[in-house]
Structure 1
Amino acid sequence: MMTKTAKDLVAEANQTVETLSAEEALKLVGDPGVVLVDVREGEELQKTGKVQGAVHVPRGFLEFQADPASASHKPELGGGKRLVLYCASGNRSALGAKALTEMGIGNVSHVAGGFAALQQAGAPIEEGR
């Protein structure tokens, strides 16, 4: 028997993590102290591209690639930089930001509306890899 739905989990995450508007996130693009993290699947990036300079970490690998003790750690996710996560619509990024916060990683936020909102706000887009 389910006690919480996916919608419940996303709502809880949004109550506990910082949520940025697309416009707020765009002001951070290119900031050397900020890493934009695209948590969408690779197929999504191939179809739409990603925000210029964003690091791609699929949601399913986020905790492992953020963990410095993991063999699959991505150094871009360390070093005390601010991490701003986005997905397609803002749900996976909220869950990911909550998970990173629970791991003890500070200064994590996510973008409301995700890639669609960023694109609409005029984010610079590059080919997805």
Structure 2
Amino acid sequence: MTPHKVHSPGFLALVTDAKTRVNQIDIDQYRKMVAAKEPHILVDVREDSEWSAAHAAGAVHLSKGTIERDIETAIPDKHERLVLYCGGGYRSALAADSIQRMGYHNVLSLDGGWRAIEASGLPLEKP
């Protein structure tokens, strides 16, 4: 598991602001979505090195640094249900806020992110 990072006050303020506009789900809600086979695309917004170490099975990788540039090509349907995750739920909230402003209408940020996925027992992919 990745240790928790200490985040700067400015970053936390951005995240707090983004979370006022972003719908979040926790790992239990996500597990229920998966169990019910609810259609969605799981998007990993972590950095390349994090993705390469391991990621949720079936996830699409669009890092926080490139998601705005690449999402319209990777996922052109702006009505698709998207579930974004990062390490703990901060970067995914920022990315979700950003792509919502680009017209994506059904975006969720996974609170707890990778740490929650890893602890949940959901299938993982490791190169």
TM-score (structure 2 length as normaliser): 0.84
Partner of 1:37: 43
Q: How does 1:1-129 map to 2 (within 5 A)?
A: 5-29=10-34, 31=37, 33-47=39-53, 49-67=54-72, 73-74=73-74, 77-79=75-77, 80-127=79-126
Fraction of identical pairs, as percent = 35
Q: CA RMSD in A?
A: 1.7
CA contact (8 A) 1:52 1:124 kept: yes
5+ long unaligned stretches in structure 2? 1-8
| 1:56-94 Cα deviation digits (max 9, x unpaired) | 111111011123xxxxx21xx233310100001111000
TM-score (structure 1 length as normaliser): 0.83
SS of corresponding position for 2:115: helix
Query: Taking structure 1 as reference, are residues 86 and 96 closer, same or farther at Cα in structure 2, changes over 3 Å only?
Result: same
Shift, 1:32, TM fit: 6.5
Shift, 1:33, TM fit: 2.3
Number of residue equivalences: 117
CA contact (8 A) 1:39 1:59 kept: yes
CA distance in 1, matches of 2:114, 2:125: 12
